[in-house]
Structure 1
Amino acid sequence: MNLTTFLVYCVIVTFTPGPTNIVILSSVQHSSMRQAMNYVLGATMAFGLLLGASAILNRMLAGILPSILSTMQIVGCLYMLYLAYQIFRMGSAESLEQHPSGFASGLLMQFVNPKVILFTLTVIPSYVLPYYSSPLILMVFVIIITVIGFLAFATWLIFGSVFRSFLLNHQRAANTIMALFLVYSAVMVSGLL
């Protein structure tokens, strides 16, 4: 397992702007820190639940259909390339509206967030299942990825105003760098190298 590529992928996907991070950024600008933290906790719980469900389902599928792993690696690769494209062409965060914040909002948002759904469905089969199948090891990876997600959400919360300014002032360069990291991760997951 290429641990560096795995970590780069997890960090890029969780730290880059997406629906959850943008809502956190907006929430910290328009509500109390406590309310925004409740949103972060709800989002983190849902993220971990989705990762756990994905790990269980993907492990079961891999046992039934061994060729599913290579299919999921291809899906993961294509998804990362799609994310790279979306990040590269991402628009301004200035057009954000105020979003409700709170634990329930954070929890529910993750279940309808396509970025999170696709990430949770592809990260385990693309990076972990080709090398590990033990339920304990899968649980450890779910916890590691959930912690990375929480750190990303908390970072957007704590440094919301700094990141907002940075992204607006240096948006093209930041998006290009993040997109290139995702392309690198996609190539590594694809099995081409």
Structure 2
Amino acid sequence: MVENYLAVMLFTFTTMITPGPNNIMMMSSGLNYGVRKSLQHYLGICAGLPAMVAVIGLSFDLIFLEFPFLHDVIKVIGVSYLLYLSYRMATLSISSLQEIHKKPFTFMQAAAFQWVNPKAWTIGTGAIAAYTTDDGALMQVFYITLAFLLAAFPCLAAWLFFGANLKRALKNKFHQKLFNISMALLLALSVLPVITELVSNYLL
């Protein structure tokens, strides 16, 4: 049993520390808004992702096994929204950087974003499918949710502080613009595997 919980912790940590929409946006927020103004965004992800995992775990058998097409519907919505965010990030004018300086994600926006984040759905459903059994499923979902909660704080903090520290090296607004374009491209690339999967399932 202990070994299984260690495996869950390893899974959650490795999936949450690697680049993905949350981490890329967290780093970008740290650069553009600073740590203090990004705290609501940070805490919204830390609370929203484990909450989503808990809901997935408690409803996995009831909803997603009965209506598997919902996974693809959520993926399409999530990919579309992330591509829109990429576009907004890349086309942000240099002069508007100061304009939007006071408008990072709120706690509720960051928490709600998890429901259209393809990576969040992938790792959430993956963890529930891989680490739960019919025996004591409720407690297993609790421990998986706890693992995501414990992993979220240090992993996201690392990306947030990294982005904030980059501000010292990117004092020039033009350099910040190049950074935002780079982050937009990474954000778009992060959903490429999901797009490829959807295309292969429905168009090929």
TM-score normalised by L of structure 1 = 0.64
CA displacement at 1:164 relative to structure 2: 5.5
Q: Deviation of residue 110 (structure 1)?
A: 1.2
Q: Does 1:11 align with 2:5?
A: no
1:78/1:186 contact within 8 Å kept: no
| Residues 144 and 189 (structure 1), Cα distance of their counterparts in 2 relative to 1, 3 Å cut | farther
Any stretches of 5+ residues in structure 1 without a counterpart?
Answer: 26-35, 100-105
Contact 1:5 1:185 in 2 (8 A): no
Deviation digits for residues 16-73 of structure 1 (CA, Å, limit 9, x no counterpart): 23xx764436xxxxxxxxxx4xx66665444322222222223334332212333222
**Structure 1's 117 and 4: CA in aligned 2 closer, same or farther, altered over 3 A?**
closer
Partner of 2:63: 65
User: Secondary structure of 1:165's match?
Assistant: coil
**2:84 match:** 82
Counterpart pick for 1:24 among 34, 38, 54 = 34
**One-letter code of the match for 1:14?**
M
Answer whether contact 1:110 1:117 (CA < 8 A) is retained.
Answer: yes
| Offset at residue 129 of structure 1 (A) | 3.3
Unaligned runs of 5+ in 2: 1-10, 133-140
Percent of pairs with identical residues? 14
How many Å separate the matches in 1 of 2:16 and 2:160? 21
Aligned to 1:162: 168
- 2:183 corresponds in structure 1 to 178
Match of 1:132 among 102, 108, 127: 127
Instruction: Give the conservation status (yes or no) of the 8 Å contact 2:28–2:183.
Output: yes
Cα separation, 1, equivalents of 2:86 and 2:167: 24
- 1:87-110: CA deviation from partner (whole Å, max 9, x where unpaired): 1112332335679xxxxxx9x931
Counterpart in the other structure of 1:31: none
Q: Which has the larger radius of gyration?
A: 2
Q: Give the direction of change, closer, same or farther, for the CA distance of 1:127–1:77 in structure 2 (3 Å limit).
A: same
1:29 counterpart residue number: none
Structure 2: how far apart are the matches of 1:127 and 1:177?
24
One-letter identity of the residue aligned with 1:72: I
Structure 1 residues 187 and 42, CA gap change in structure 2 (3 angstroms):
closer
Cα distance in structure 2, aligned partners of 1:52 and 1:5: 12
Match of 1:119 among 107, 110, 113: 113
Alignment partner of 1:95 is 2:99: yes
Is the 1:46–1:110 contact (alpha carbons within 8 Å) kept by the matching residues of 2?
A: yes
- The alpha carbon displacement at 1:189 in A equals 2.5
Other-structure match for 1:102: none
